[in-house]
Protein backbone atom coordinates (compact mmCIF):
# COMPACT_ATOMS: atom_id res chain seq x y z
CA UNK A 1 0.00 0.00 0.00
CA UNK A 2 2.66 2.43 -1.05
CA UNK A 3 0.34 5.24 -2.09
CA UNK A 4 -1.37 5.15 1.26
CA UNK A 5 1.86 6.10 2.97
CA UNK A 6 2.56 8.99 0.61
CA UNK A 7 -0.77 10.54 1.56
CA UNK A 8 -0.10 10.19 5.24
CA UNK A 9 -1.50 13.53 6.51
CA UNK A 10 -4.96 12.90 5.07
CA UNK A 11 -5.05 9.33 6.38
CA UNK A 12 -3.97 10.46 9.85
CA UNK A 13 -6.81 12.96 10.06
CA UNK A 14 -9.29 10.27 9.05
CA UNK A 15 -7.93 7.91 11.67
CA UNK A 16 -8.32 10.44 14.46
CA UNK A 17 -11.89 11.19 13.50
CA UNK A 18 -13.09 7.62 13.21
CA UNK A 19 -11.27 6.19 16.20
CA UNK A 20 -12.32 8.90 18.63
CA UNK A 21 -15.44 6.95 19.43
CA UNK A 22 -13.28 4.00 20.50
CA UNK A 23 -15.19 1.45 18.46
CA UNK A 24 -15.59 0.16 14.92
CA UNK A 25 -18.84 2.03 14.30
CA UNK A 26 -18.89 5.02 12.01
CA UNK A 27 -19.50 8.65 12.94
CA UNK A 28 -20.88 11.51 10.83
CA UNK A 29 -17.38 12.90 10.44
CA UNK A 30 -15.97 9.60 9.26
CA UNK A 31 -18.83 9.12 6.84
CA UNK A 32 -18.00 12.38 5.07
CA UNK A 33 -14.30 11.61 4.73
CA UNK A 34 -12.76 9.90 1.74
CA UNK A 35 -11.80 6.19 1.86
CA UNK A 36 -8.27 5.54 3.04
CA UNK A 37 -5.95 5.28 0.00
CA UNK A 38 -5.28 3.06 -1.86
CA UNK A 39 -8.88 1.87 -1.28
CA UNK A 40 -11.64 3.46 -3.34
CA UNK A 41 -15.39 2.90 -3.41
CA UNK A 42 -16.36 -0.28 -5.23
CA UNK A 43 -17.82 0.41 -8.69
CA UNK A 44 -21.57 0.02 -9.06
CA UNK A 45 -21.04 -2.80 -11.57
CA UNK A 46 -19.62 -5.02 -8.78
CA UNK A 47 -22.27 -4.30 -6.13
CA UNK A 48 -24.63 -7.14 -7.24
CA UNK A 49 -21.72 -9.50 -6.53
CA UNK A 50 -20.55 -7.87 -3.29
CA UNK A 51 -23.87 -7.07 -1.60
CA UNK A 52 -24.68 -10.65 -0.48
CA UNK A 53 -21.18 -11.20 0.96
CA UNK A 54 -20.26 -11.10 4.64
CA UNK A 55 -19.03 -7.57 5.52
CA UNK A 56 -16.71 -8.96 8.19
CA UNK A 57 -14.54 -10.91 5.73
CA UNK A 58 -11.79 -9.85 3.31
CA UNK A 59 -11.97 -10.87 -0.34
CA UNK A 60 -9.34 -11.17 -3.08
CA UNK A 61 -10.10 -11.11 -6.81
CA UNK A 62 -7.87 -11.88 -9.76
CA UNK A 63 -8.01 -13.45 -13.22
CA UNK A 64 -6.53 -16.90 -13.66
CA UNK A 65 -4.85 -17.08 -17.09
CA UNK A 66 -3.09 -20.41 -16.67
CA UNK A 67 -3.58 -22.88 -19.56
CA UNK A 68 -6.81 -24.88 -19.62
CA UNK A 69 -4.82 -28.12 -19.64
CA UNK A 70 -3.21 -27.17 -16.31
CA UNK A 71 -6.60 -26.26 -14.81
CA UNK A 72 -7.98 -29.64 -15.88
CA UNK A 73 -5.04 -31.59 -14.47
CA UNK A 74 -5.23 -29.68 -11.20
CA UNK A 75 -8.96 -30.33 -10.90
CA UNK A 76 -8.54 -34.02 -11.67
CA UNK A 77 -6.65 -34.61 -8.41
CA UNK A 78 -9.54 -33.68 -6.05
CA UNK A 79 -11.99 -35.47 -8.35
CA UNK A 80 -10.07 -38.73 -7.98
CA UNK A 81 -9.56 -38.18 -4.26
CA UNK A 82 -13.27 -37.62 -3.62
CA UNK A 83 -14.19 -40.60 -5.80
CA UNK A 84 -11.87 -42.72 -3.65
CA UNK A 85 -13.57 -41.42 -0.49
CA UNK A 86 -17.03 -42.19 -1.91
CA UNK A 87 -15.92 -45.71 -2.85
CA UNK A 88 -14.46 -46.25 0.63
CA UNK A 89 -17.67 -45.07 2.30
CA UNK A 90 -19.81 -47.21 -0.02
CA UNK A 91 -17.69 -50.28 0.78
CA UNK A 92 -17.97 -49.55 4.50
CA UNK A 93 -21.77 -49.23 4.29
CA UNK A 94 -21.90 -52.54 2.45
CA UNK A 95 -19.62 -54.19 5.04
CA UNK A 96 -21.70 -53.16 8.06
CA UNK A 97 -25.13 -53.51 6.50
CA UNK A 98 -25.99 -56.39 8.88
CA UNK A 99 -24.07 -55.22 11.95
CA UNK A 100 -26.07 -52.18 13.06
CA UNK A 101 -29.55 -53.77 12.74
CA UNK A 102 -28.26 -56.69 14.82
CA UNK A 103 -26.71 -54.30 17.36
CA UNK A 104 -29.99 -52.40 17.68
CA UNK A 105 -31.92 -55.67 18.13
CA UNK A 106 -29.56 -56.68 20.95
CA UNK A 107 -30.01 -53.31 22.66
CA UNK A 108 -33.80 -53.62 22.71
CA UNK A 109 -33.62 -57.19 23.97
CA UNK A 110 -34.27 -59.13 20.77
CA UNK A 111 -32.26 -62.14 19.69
CA UNK A 112 -29.86 -61.45 16.82
CA UNK A 113 -26.63 -62.69 15.33
CA UNK A 114 -24.73 -60.41 17.72
CA UNK A 115 -26.51 -61.57 20.86
CA UNK A 116 -24.18 -63.12 23.44
CA UNK A 117 -24.73 -65.00 26.68
CA UNK A 118 -22.65 -62.99 29.12
CA UNK A 119 -22.92 -65.69 31.77
CA UNK A 120 -20.81 -68.07 29.70
CA UNK A 121 -18.07 -65.57 28.83
CA UNK A 122 -14.95 -64.81 30.81
CA UNK A 123 -14.14 -61.20 31.62
CA UNK A 124 -11.42 -61.11 28.97
CA UNK A 125 -13.78 -62.46 26.28
CA UNK A 126 -16.52 -60.05 27.30
CA UNK A 127 -14.07 -57.13 27.24
CA UNK A 128 -13.00 -58.13 23.73
CA UNK A 129 -16.62 -58.15 22.52
CA UNK A 130 -17.35 -54.74 24.07
CA UNK A 131 -14.14 -53.12 22.80
CA UNK A 132 -14.69 -54.57 19.31
CA UNK A 133 -18.16 -53.04 19.08
CA UNK A 134 -16.94 -49.71 20.48
CA UNK A 135 -14.18 -49.67 17.86
CA UNK A 136 -16.71 -50.37 15.09
CA UNK A 137 -18.95 -47.50 16.22
CA UNK A 138 -16.02 -45.07 16.65
CA UNK A 139 -14.60 -45.93 13.23
CA UNK A 140 -17.93 -45.31 11.52
CA UNK A 141 -18.42 -42.11 13.52
CA UNK A 142 -15.06 -40.90 12.23
CA UNK A 143 -15.95 -41.79 8.64
CA UNK A 144 -19.29 -39.99 8.84
CA UNK A 145 -18.11 -36.83 10.61
CA UNK A 146 -14.68 -36.39 9.01
CA UNK A 147 -14.65 -38.03 5.57
CA UNK A 148 -18.30 -37.76 4.46
CA UNK A 149 -18.33 -33.91 4.47
CA UNK A 150 -15.46 -33.85 1.93
CA UNK A 151 -17.40 -35.22 -1.07
CA UNK A 152 -20.49 -33.24 0.01
CA UNK A 153 -18.53 -29.97 0.02
CA UNK A 154 -16.87 -30.95 -3.24
CA UNK A 155 -20.25 -31.66 -4.85
CA UNK A 156 -21.77 -28.30 -3.92
CA UNK A 157 -18.55 -26.29 -4.26
CA UNK A 158 -15.85 -27.14 -6.82
CA UNK A 159 -17.98 -29.53 -8.88
CA UNK A 160 -20.86 -27.06 -9.08
CA UNK A 161 -18.40 -24.32 -10.07
CA UNK A 162 -16.91 -26.37 -12.90
CA UNK A 163 -20.32 -27.54 -14.07
CA UNK A 164 -21.60 -23.96 -14.33
CA UNK A 165 -18.42 -22.21 -15.49
CA UNK A 166 -16.44 -24.97 -17.19
CA UNK A 167 -12.77 -24.50 -18.03
CA UNK A 168 -11.83 -21.17 -19.61
CA UNK A 169 -8.69 -19.42 -20.81
CA UNK A 170 -9.41 -16.65 -18.31
CA UNK A 171 -11.24 -17.49 -15.12
CA UNK A 172 -12.31 -15.15 -12.33
CA UNK A 173 -10.89 -16.29 -8.99
CA UNK A 174 -12.63 -15.03 -5.87
CA UNK A 175 -10.99 -15.80 -2.53
CA UNK A 176 -12.55 -15.37 0.90
CA UNK A 177 -10.57 -14.95 4.13
CA UNK A 178 -10.54 -17.85 6.55
CA UNK A 179 -11.84 -17.29 10.08
CA UNK A 180 -8.31 -17.41 11.48
CA UNK A 181 -7.34 -14.29 9.54
CA UNK A 182 -10.30 -12.07 10.46
CA UNK A 183 -11.45 -13.39 13.85
CA UNK A 184 -9.58 -10.79 15.91
CA UNK A 185 -9.52 -7.89 13.45
CA UNK A 186 -11.00 -4.60 14.65
CA UNK A 187 -13.52 -3.60 12.02
CA UNK A 188 -12.54 -0.49 10.01
CA UNK A 189 -9.47 0.18 12.16
CA UNK A 190 -7.26 -2.71 11.00
CA UNK A 191 -6.80 -1.09 7.56
CA UNK A 192 -5.00 1.83 9.21
CA UNK A 193 -3.33 0.14 12.16
CA UNK A 194 -2.63 -3.55 11.49
CA UNK A 195 0.49 -3.73 9.32
CA UNK A 196 0.92 -7.46 9.91
CA UNK A 197 -2.51 -8.22 8.41
CA UNK A 198 -1.86 -5.88 5.48
CA UNK A 199 1.41 -7.70 4.77
CA UNK A 200 -0.37 -11.07 4.82
CA UNK A 201 -2.92 -9.73 2.34
CA UNK A 202 -0.25 -8.27 0.06
CA UNK A 203 1.62 -11.58 0.05
CA UNK A 204 -1.54 -13.29 -1.23
CA UNK A 205 -1.75 -11.11 -4.36
CA UNK A 206 1.88 -11.04 -5.44
CA UNK A 207 2.56 -12.03 -9.07
CA UNK A 208 4.15 -15.27 -7.87
CA UNK A 209 0.89 -16.18 -6.11
CA UNK A 210 -1.61 -15.23 -8.81
CA UNK A 211 0.47 -17.04 -11.46
CA UNK A 212 -0.79 -20.27 -9.90
CA UNK A 213 -4.11 -21.72 -10.99
CA UNK A 214 -6.88 -20.71 -8.60
CA UNK A 215 -7.49 -24.16 -7.13
CA UNK A 216 -3.96 -24.17 -5.69
CA UNK A 217 -4.45 -20.94 -3.73
CA UNK A 218 -6.44 -22.44 -0.86
CA UNK A 219 -4.42 -22.20 2.38
CA UNK A 220 -4.83 -21.40 6.07
CA UNK A 221 -5.72 -17.77 5.29
CA UNK A 222 -7.82 -18.04 2.12
CA UNK A 223 -10.50 -20.28 0.64
CA UNK A 224 -12.25 -20.11 -2.73
CA UNK A 225 -15.75 -18.61 -2.78
CA UNK A 226 -17.31 -20.84 -5.45
CA UNK A 227 -20.74 -19.20 -5.49
CA UNK A 228 -19.18 -15.75 -6.03
CA UNK A 229 -17.04 -17.08 -8.88
CA UNK A 230 -20.15 -18.49 -10.57
CA UNK A 231 -22.00 -15.17 -10.14
CA UNK A 232 -18.98 -13.21 -11.43
CA UNK A 233 -18.85 -15.25 -14.63
CA UNK A 234 -22.61 -14.86 -15.06
CA UNK A 235 -22.10 -11.10 -14.85
CA UNK A 236 -19.34 -11.22 -17.47
CA UNK A 237 -21.46 -13.43 -19.72
CA UNK A 238 -24.38 -10.98 -19.43
CA UNK A 239 -26.70 -13.06 -17.25
CA UNK A 240 -28.16 -11.08 -14.39
CA UNK A 241 -28.15 -12.34 -10.81
CA UNK A 242 -31.08 -10.16 -9.76
CA UNK A 243 -34.51 -11.75 -9.17
CA UNK A 244 -36.13 -8.89 -11.07
CA UNK A 245 -34.01 -9.26 -14.20
CA UNK A 246 -33.13 -12.27 -16.26
CA UNK A 247 -30.41 -10.53 -18.20
CA UNK A 248 -28.27 -7.47 -17.74
CA UNK A 249 -25.45 -5.71 -19.54
CA UNK A 250 -22.27 -7.76 -19.40
CA UNK A 251 -19.57 -6.58 -16.99
CA UNK A 252 -16.11 -6.23 -18.49
CA UNK A 253 -13.69 -8.95 -17.43
CA UNK A 254 -11.16 -6.23 -16.57
CA UNK A 255 -13.39 -5.24 -13.61
CA UNK A 256 -12.15 -8.42 -11.94
CA UNK A 257 -8.44 -7.68 -12.28
CA UNK A 258 -6.32 -8.22 -9.18
CA UNK A 259 -7.95 -6.46 -6.24
CA UNK A 260 -8.53 -6.55 -2.48
CA UNK A 261 -12.14 -6.00 -1.37
CA UNK A 262 -13.23 -5.00 2.15
CA UNK A 263 -16.31 -3.53 3.79
CA UNK A 264 -16.32 -0.59 6.22
CA UNK A 265 -19.05 1.08 8.24
CA UNK A 266 -18.27 4.53 6.87
CA UNK A 267 -17.93 3.78 3.16
CA UNK A 268 -19.44 0.36 2.49
CA UNK A 269 -17.59 -1.85 0.01
CA UNK A 270 -14.10 -0.64 -0.90
CA UNK A 271 -11.71 -1.93 -3.55
CA UNK A 272 -7.93 -1.69 -3.78
CA UNK A 273 -6.86 -2.29 -7.38
CA UNK A 274 -3.48 -3.87 -6.80
CA UNK A 275 -2.58 -3.71 -10.51
CA UNK A 276 -3.23 0.04 -10.56
CA UNK A 277 -1.22 0.72 -7.43
CA UNK A 278 2.07 0.34 -9.28
CA UNK A 279 2.08 0.77 -13.10
CA UNK A 280 5.37 -1.07 -13.54
CA UNK A 281 4.27 -4.09 -11.54
CA UNK A 282 0.98 -4.11 -13.43
CA UNK A 283 2.86 -4.02 -16.71
CA UNK A 284 5.10 -6.83 -15.52
CA UNK A 285 2.09 -8.95 -14.63
CA UNK A 286 0.60 -8.28 -18.06
CA UNK A 287 3.87 -9.33 -19.65
CA UNK A 288 3.87 -12.53 -17.61
CA UNK A 289 0.29 -13.35 -18.60
CA UNK A 290 0.74 -12.37 -22.25
CA UNK A 291 2.68 -15.57 -22.85
CA UNK A 292 -0.37 -17.53 -21.70
CA UNK A 293 -2.97 -15.34 -23.39
CA UNK A 294 -1.69 -13.99 -26.69
CA UNK A 295 -5.20 -13.74 -28.13
CA UNK A 296 -6.30 -11.14 -25.60
CA UNK A 297 -3.09 -9.18 -25.94
CA UNK A 298 -3.99 -7.44 -29.22
CA UNK A 299 -7.38 -6.39 -27.88
CA UNK A 300 -5.81 -4.99 -24.70
CA UNK A 301 -3.29 -2.88 -26.62
CA UNK A 302 -6.10 -1.01 -28.38
CA UNK A 303 -7.64 0.20 -25.10
CA UNK A 304 -4.69 0.98 -22.78
CA UNK A 305 -3.06 4.39 -22.48
CA UNK A 306 0.30 5.10 -24.23
CA UNK A 307 2.32 5.33 -20.99
CA UNK A 308 1.16 1.95 -19.75
CA UNK A 309 1.64 0.44 -23.20
CA UNK A 310 5.24 1.71 -23.35
CA UNK A 311 5.97 0.28 -19.89
CA UNK A 312 4.47 -3.05 -20.86
CA UNK A 313 6.47 -3.18 -24.10
CA UNK A 314 9.69 -2.46 -22.21
CA UNK A 315 8.99 -5.18 -19.66
CA UNK A 316 7.94 -7.64 -22.36
CA UNK A 317 11.35 -7.02 -23.92
CA UNK A 318 12.87 -7.61 -20.48
CA UNK A 319 11.00 -10.94 -20.18
CA UNK A 320 11.81 -12.06 -23.71
CA UNK A 321 15.52 -11.39 -23.24
CA UNK A 322 15.61 -13.45 -20.04
CA UNK A 323 13.60 -16.22 -21.73
CA UNK A 324 16.08 -16.31 -24.60
CA UNK A 325 18.84 -16.74 -22.03
CA UNK A 326 16.96 -19.63 -20.39
CA UNK A 327 16.35 -17.50 -17.28
CA UNK A 328 12.59 -16.90 -17.46
CA UNK A 329 12.15 -17.86 -13.81
CA UNK A 330 14.44 -14.93 -12.94
CA UNK A 331 11.86 -12.57 -14.48
CA UNK A 332 9.09 -13.80 -12.17
CA UNK A 333 11.35 -13.60 -9.14
CA UNK A 334 12.15 -9.99 -10.10
CA UNK A 335 8.44 -9.16 -10.39
CA UNK A 336 7.73 -10.69 -6.97
CA UNK A 337 10.61 -8.78 -5.36
CA UNK A 338 9.53 -5.41 -6.80
CA UNK A 339 5.87 -6.08 -5.90
CA UNK A 340 6.81 -6.85 -2.30
CA UNK A 341 9.07 -3.82 -1.85
CA UNK A 342 6.69 -1.36 -3.53
CA UNK A 343 3.64 -2.37 -1.47
CA UNK A 344 5.22 -2.37 1.99
CA UNK A 345 3.78 0.16 4.45
CA UNK A 346 5.71 3.41 4.21
CA UNK A 347 5.90 3.50 0.44
CA UNK A 348 8.60 2.77 -2.11
CA UNK A 349 11.07 5.28 -0.71
CA UNK A 350 14.43 6.08 -2.36
CA UNK A 351 16.12 3.91 0.28
CA UNK A 352 13.89 0.97 -0.57
CA UNK A 353 14.45 1.54 -4.29
CA UNK A 354 18.20 1.30 -3.72
CA UNK A 355 17.71 -1.78 -1.54
CA UNK A 356 15.50 -3.38 -4.20
CA UNK A 357 18.04 -2.74 -6.94
CA UNK A 358 20.81 -4.20 -4.79
CA UNK A 359 18.71 -7.31 -4.26
CA UNK A 360 18.02 -7.50 -8.00
CA UNK A 361 21.73 -7.16 -8.73
CA UNK A 362 22.53 -9.99 -6.31
CA UNK A 363 19.72 -12.07 -7.82
CA UNK A 364 21.14 -11.60 -11.33
CA UNK A 365 24.67 -12.37 -10.26
CA UNK A 366 23.55 -15.57 -8.49
CA UNK A 367 22.03 -16.65 -11.80
CA UNK A 368 25.18 -15.80 -13.83
CA UNK A 369 23.66 -12.77 -15.59
CA UNK A 370 25.78 -9.64 -16.15
CA UNK A 371 23.63 -7.10 -14.27
CA UNK A 372 25.01 -3.87 -15.80
CA UNK A 373 25.11 -5.12 -19.39
CA UNK A 374 21.62 -6.61 -19.18
CA UNK A 375 20.01 -3.36 -18.01
CA UNK A 376 21.82 -1.40 -20.70
CA UNK A 377 20.41 -3.75 -23.33
CA UNK A 378 16.80 -3.24 -22.14
CA UNK A 379 17.07 0.55 -21.86
CA UNK A 380 18.67 1.22 -18.48
CA UNK A 381 17.45 1.18 -14.89
CA UNK A 382 16.39 4.81 -14.72
CA UNK A 383 13.03 4.36 -16.46
CA UNK A 384 12.13 1.42 -14.24
CA UNK A 385 13.01 3.38 -11.08
CA UNK A 386 11.04 6.43 -12.22
CA UNK A 387 7.98 4.29 -12.91
CA UNK A 388 8.20 2.60 -9.53
CA UNK A 389 8.36 5.87 -7.63
Annotate 179-213 with b (16+ C-beta within 10 A) or e (fewer). eebbeebebbbbbbeeeebbeebbebbbbebbbeb
- Domain residue limits, the chain: 39-67+169-276, 83-162, 307-378
If one compares 160 and 24, the residue with the highest pLDDT of the two is 160
Summarize pLDDT for 37-73 with one digit per residue, the tens: 778 999 999 999 999 999 999 999 999 999 999 999 9
Instruction: Give helix 149-156 / helix 158-165 axis angle, nearest 10°.
Output: 20
SS3 percent helix, strand, coil of the chain, rounded to 5, is 60, 10, 30
Summarize pLDDT for 222-280 with one digit per residue, the tens: 999 999 999 999 999 987 554 444 445 689 999 999 999 999 888 899 999 886 655 44
Summarize pLDDT for 287-346 with one digit per residue, the tens: 555 544 444 444 444 444 555 556 666 677 777 777 888 877 777 777 777 777 776 666
Distances (CA, A) of 75 to 69, 72, 178, 190, 282: 10, 5, 22, 35, 28
User: Which range, of 143-147, 194-198, 243-247, 357-361, averages the lowest pLDDT?
Assistant: 243-247
- Per DSSP, the three-state class of 382 is helix
pLDDT band at 284 (very low <50, low <70, confident <90, very high): low
d(CA 68, CA 100): 47
* Most confidently predicted of 183-197, 219-233, 369-383: 219-233
Amino acid sequence: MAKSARRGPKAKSSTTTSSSSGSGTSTPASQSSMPLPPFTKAPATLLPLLSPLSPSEIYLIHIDSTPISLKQKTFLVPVLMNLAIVCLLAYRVYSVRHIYPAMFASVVGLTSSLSVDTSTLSWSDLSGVVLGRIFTVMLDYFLVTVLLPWPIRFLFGPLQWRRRVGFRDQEIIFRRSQAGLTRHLKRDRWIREDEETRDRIVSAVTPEKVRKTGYLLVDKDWDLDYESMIVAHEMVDGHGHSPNKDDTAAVQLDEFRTAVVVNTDAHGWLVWRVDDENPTVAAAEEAASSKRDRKGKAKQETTEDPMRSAQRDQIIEFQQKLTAMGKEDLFYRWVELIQYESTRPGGFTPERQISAMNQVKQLFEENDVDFSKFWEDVGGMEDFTDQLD
